A and B are shown apart, each in its own frame.
Chain A
């Protein structure tokens, strides 16, 4: 099974049908275990108290927000270079998920920031760049909706997605380049994680659960998009097969509407 075998949407849908129940079970199990660890096993922070538990949602959501964009960018390369039909679908399916996770990261960050920093929002580099990411997601979703023809929309979106990758790089390194309120990275560092394992393990579990959640949502949303395209194709076929019938009904209906 290679990437090219998946180019056939029917085969892809078959694979999704097999995979999806397992993925849903795995996601629910991972979320349950992760949340249990996060809320009951992980210790309170000596400075932040209970509010540190927001981190177990905040950090994975932020990671996924970037991962969705990476997924979108990879899919864009796929649809521009190889014209893989499912790459379009994948790129389109990632955008709303990415926007949702970006919003979750911003929202959880805001309610964490209030007790910790004394404010819901600061114009800090990481926060600001995440807001920009959110605007980009919304812009891309709007662009998908604005162009009727899905193939043209995919190409245009791929171009703007790839141009926007530069901002993702800025977001990733913003906390290292500009020393502001948001803390620098503490998990993936050259000299090893700077967090005690009692917090790191629940965080890892939650990150895993969120990745599973993303894969599940992404596959479901790709499936929906393929279905939606099939409906669109069927409608167009139906419209082109029976133009005479439909036009006659229109001419009959028109005077009734005019009156």
Chain B
């Protein structure tokens, strides 16, 4: 299992620029916002947390279609399905490796990118914290979409369409926790706990559903 994690992590890092490409995309998304809404620092700092969250969501979606597809193409997915190990666990480990390779760099890049949108210190901490908690949920929900679209030749767009509606609750609670903290610290805890709950929920449902989808595609 540890070998699998290491293998997945290295593969994710080496294929197509790995973590760097996700962070670059994140940077690009954050950069185009001031061009879209205008370089008004006050406005930007008000919607900054939302910009960062949407950027992270899009950057997460970007790499998801490769989560199972590369393995399916070279046949190692079949081996994993037939290995006799719990497929749910395999999916969970793949998600963990994928998160470590692409999600974690996004979280680490968040404080730097926060400066571009003019967040103060407290907001930077809160946005980073909510992304740290929420990004695994995005990966886990995305794994369901990746499992469902694995047998398609160009499933990437369909994957995004299927996953974005499911990611909306995560986005809502993530952004409300991140922005509530800046305005009124009392309101932080409730959405933050909801976000934690969504991540835990994703830990259960994501691997189950993705494994079921992978079994179907293996038939």
User: CB within 8 Å of B: which residues of A?
Assistant: 80, 132-133, 135-136, 138-140, 142-143, 146-147, 152, 155-156, 159-160, 162-164, 166-167, 170
Give the dominant DSSP class at A's interface: helix
Contact B164 A135 (CB under 8 A): yes
Does B22 make an interface contact (CB < 8 A)?
no
> How far apart are the CA atoms of A133 and B147 in the complex, in Å?
21
Chain B 131-170 interface mask (CB, 8 Å, partner A; 1/0): 0000000000100110111011001001001101110110
Contact B205 A139 (CB under 8 A): no
> How far apart are the CA atoms of A133 and B158 in the complex, in Å?
16
List 7 A-B pairs, minimum CB-CB distance, nearest first.
Answer: A155-B216, A139-B161, A139-B162, A136-B165, A132-B165, A156-B148, A159-B213
A155 → chain B, closest Cβ, in Å? 4
B205 proximity list for chain A (CB < 8 A): 163
B198 → chain A, closest Cβ, in Å? 9
Choice from A146, A147, A170 contacting B169 with Cβ under 8 Å: A170
List 7 A-B pairs, Cβ < 8 Å: A80-B212, A142-B161, A146-B155, A146-B158, A152-B217, A163-B166, A164-B165
Contact B162 A143 (CB under 8 A): yes
> How far apart are the CA atoms of A135 and B161 in the complex, in Å?
8
Contact B164 A143 (CB under 8 A): no
Known: A147-B151, A156-B148. A142 touches B158 (CB 8 A): yes
Interface size class for chain B? Answer: 20 to 34
Task: Enumerate B162-219 residues with CB–CB distance to A below 8 Å.
Answer: 162, 164-166, 168-169, 205, 209, 212-213, 216-217, 219
A132 proximity list for chain B (CB < 8 A): 165, 168
Q: Specify the chain A residue showing the minimal Cβ separation from B198.
A: A166
Contact B166 A152 (CB under 8 A): no
Choice from B158, B161, B169 contacting A167 with Cβ under 8 Å: B169
Known: A146-B152, A160-B144. A152 touches B216 (CB 8 A): yes
Contact B219 A152 (CB under 8 A): yes
Contact A139 B158 (CB under 8 A): yes
> How far apart are the CA atoms of A237 and B144 in the complex, in Å?
34
Q: Specify the chain A residue showing the minimal Cβ separation from B211.
A: A159
B152 proximity list for chain A (CB < 8 A): 146-147
B169 proximity list for chain A (CB < 8 A): 166-167, 170
> How far apart are the CA atoms of A152 and B216 in the complex, in Å?
6
Q: Specify the chain B residue showing the minimal Cβ separation from A155.
A: B216
> How far apart are the CA atoms of A248 and B196 in the complex, in Å?
63
Known: A147-B151, A155-B213, A160-B144. 16 other contacts (CB 8 A): A133-B165, A135-B165, A136-B165, A139-B162, A140-B162, A143-B148, A143-B149, A143-B158, A146-B158, A152-B217, A159-B212, A159-B216, A160-B162, A163-B205, A164-B165, A167-B166
Contact A138 B144 (CB under 8 A): no
> How far apart are the CA atoms of A248 and B164 in the complex, in Å?
48
A164 proximity list for chain B (CB < 8 A): 165-166
A135 proximity list for chain B (CB < 8 A): 161, 164-165
B166 proximity list for chain A (CB < 8 A): 163-164, 166-167
B212 proximity list for chain A (CB < 8 A): 80, 155, 159
Q: Specify the chain B residue showing the minimal Cβ separation from A152.
A: B216
A159 proximity list for chain B (CB < 8 A): 144, 147-148, 209, 212-213, 216
Task: Enumerate B105-148 residues with CB–CB distance to A below 8 Å.
Answer: 141, 144-145, 147-148
Known: A146-B152, A155-B216. A160 touches B165 (CB 8 A): no
B203 → chain A, closest Cβ, in Å? 14
B219 proximity list for chain A (CB < 8 A): 152
A142 proximity list for chain B (CB < 8 A): 158, 161
> How far apart are the CA atoms of A159 and B209 in the complex, in Å?
6
Contact B148 A160 (CB under 8 A): yes
A147 proximity list for chain B (CB < 8 A): 151-152
B152 → chain A, closest Cβ, in Å? 6
Contact B151 A138 (CB under 8 A): no
Contact B148 A152 (CB under 8 A): no
Contact B145 A160 (CB under 8 A): yes
B87 → chain A, closest Cβ, in Å? 13
